[in-house]
Amino acid sequence: MKPTWRWWNCQLSAPAAKSRRNWVEGPGFRTELNLKGVIRAFRNSGVTLVHRLNLRDYYGVLLRICRNRSRLVDRHYPAPSSVSMGQPRHHSVKIIEQCSISPPPDSVPPTSIPLTFFDLPWFYLHPIQRIFFYELPQPTTTNQILQTVVPTLKHPLSLTLQHFFPFAGNILVPLHPGNFPHILYSDGDSVSFTVAESHEDFNYFVANAPTHLRDLNLLAPVFPSPLTTQDGGKLLPLMAVQITVLPNYGFSMCVGFNHVVADGRAFHHFIKFWASVCRTRGEDMESVKESLQLPLHNRDAIEDWRGLKLVFLEELSSSFTKIVKSFGILVDIPSNKVRFTFTLSREQVEKIKKWIYLECKKRD
């Protein structure tokens, strides 16, 4: 199976020259916050930039952008008139199976992982969603995929979670403000795994044309509701997976995860490891471990000289209740929101790199 990867970080928008806004994606999908956006936020707030940004100020602005994302989003920004938007297809998805995938029994001890000041600003954001489309070499029925493909994903996922166990854990949001939120893994914790079926055209999702968010959102997993601990704290799940069978074409795999538990690099490390275990069907874990490094979960290695963690916790403490209440709530996706795939040639990429180099040289 050769995967066709749909890049979810592209949003249809007008030319950049017409937009001087701080851009944050709509609810339910990935929020793109980068250094350029933070610099613009500095400028808009009247702060003078120096050659080296103060780390505390940088993350302070980042935290305010996350918390106020609904105010910063231009939700009705028009798409280029040259692109035909069309209307959502309103296809339906049938849930076939819902289960939970855990690491092998007794393979991971109960573990608590503290959050760093790098993690805390992402508390405000909805789960990130990554979707992969797999086109099978020949027409395949739903039953065939359920009998052949799905089992080869479940068992390797369990073996992978043994080493990436924080994804199977939860964020513990304590009841009392004096206690810090942290990632908690307990024996039996799991990842929600959903298998569904859609009769939508496979090519509609993977073509280089606008795809409505309402249609794509049906391929995304729904997170389980938060659990309550004995002392009143809340446990927020960190990952959910949905496999959607597209009969006679293939299937999609959408993985939703909380940015607090991993950034993009850590997530793709997880995906590569899972794919490698699938390739060996879980029968040769030693070769997988030799080809890919095991993850490091010790976040105590990150030192906080400036005391940023306490600053962010003070900002977050008043919002914990709101974050927990809004967790997992399905957001109504506007009908005029689409995703678009942009294909760049090697020559175009080289031109972009050259332009960036020249711009940086001008500013030195």
**H or E element that contains 55:** helix 55-67
Q: How far apart are CA 162 and CA 107, in angstroms?
A: 6
Tokens found for residue 1? 């199976």
CA distances for 169 relative to 19, 224, 227, angstroms: 40, 12, 12
Whole-structure pTM value? 0.71
What amino acid is encoded at 301 in this protein? A
What was the pLDDT predicted at 34? 41
Determine contact, residues 184/112, Cβ cutoff 8 Å.
Answer: yes
CA distances for 58 relative to 260, 263, 289, 307, 321, angstroms: 18, 18, 37, 14, 26
Q: How far apart are CA 287 and CA 285, in angstroms?
A: 5
Of 28, 17, 16, the residue nearest 337 (C-alpha): 28
Average pLDDT, the chain: 75
pLDDT tens profile 227-247: 888 888 889 999 999 999 998
Q: Which residue segment(s) compose the domain that 10 sits in?
A: 2-363
Q: How far apart are CA 295 and CA 148, in angstroms?
A: 29
DSSP type of residue 80: P
Residue 84: give its domain's CATH number.
3.30.559.10
Determine contact, residues 333/80, Cβ cutoff 8 Å.
Answer: no
pLDDT tens profile 87-116: 666 667 899 999 999 999 999 999 999 988
Q: How far apart are CA 111 and CA 103, in angstroms?
A: 13
CA distances for 70 relative to 23, 99, 281, angstroms: 11, 33, 44
DSSP type of residue 205: H
Instruction: Give the model's confidence band at 71: pLDDT under 50 very low, under 70 low, under 90 confident, else very high.
Output: very low
Considering 58-72, 261-275, 290-304, the range whose residues carry the highest mean pLDDT is: 261-275
pLDDT: which is higher, 13 or 254 = 254
pLDDT tens profile 127-168: 888 999 999 888 888 999 999 999 999 999 999 999 999 999
When divided into structural domains, the chain yields a total of 1
Q: How far apart are CA 146 and CA 150, in angstroms?
A: 5
